[in-house]
Amino acid sequence: MENEKLKERLSSIKSLPTLPVVASNVIQLTQNPDSTAPEIADAISQDQSLSSKVLMTANSAYYGFPGKINTINYAIVVLGLNNIKNIVLSTSIMERFSESDDDFLFDRKQFWQHSLLCGIISKKISEHMGIKNFEEMFMCGLLHDFGKVVLDTYFHEEFVQALEMAKTQEIPIKDAEYKIFGFNHSGVGALLLKRWSLPPSMVKSVEFHHKPDEKKSVKRTASIVHVADYLCRRIGIGSGGDDVTPTLNKKAWNLLELNAEIIKKMTIPIIQEFKSATGFLGNEKDSE
Whether residue 219 sits in one domain with residue 207: yes
Number of domains in the chain: 2
| Model confidence, pTM | 0.87
Q: What is the pLDDT of residue 279?
A: 60
Q: Which of 74, 96, 118 is the last residue of a domain?
A: 96
- Could you tell me if 137 and 122 are in contact, meaning their C-beta atoms sit under 8 angstroms apart? yes
How high is the pLDDT of residue 22? Answer: 85
- Same domain? 61 vs 197: no
Domain of residue 196, CATH code: 1.10.3210.10
**Closest C-alpha among 197, 154, 178 to residue 12:** 154
CA nearest 185: which of 207, 169, 201, 163?
207
Among 53, 68, 96, identify where a domain stops. Answer: 96
Same structural domain for residues 115 and 258? yes
Per-residue pLDDT of the chain (288 residues; tens, 9 = 90+): 446 777 777 776 666 677 778 888 888 898 888 989 899 999 999 988 888 888 888 887 777 787 788 999 999 988 888 888 888 888 888 877 876 655 678 888 899 999 999 999 999 999 999 998 888 899 999 999 999 999 998 899 999 999 999 999 999 999 999 999 989 999 999 988 988 888 899 999 999 999 998 888 899 999 999 999 999 998 888 998 888 888 899 999 999 999 999 999 999 989 988 888 766 666 444 444
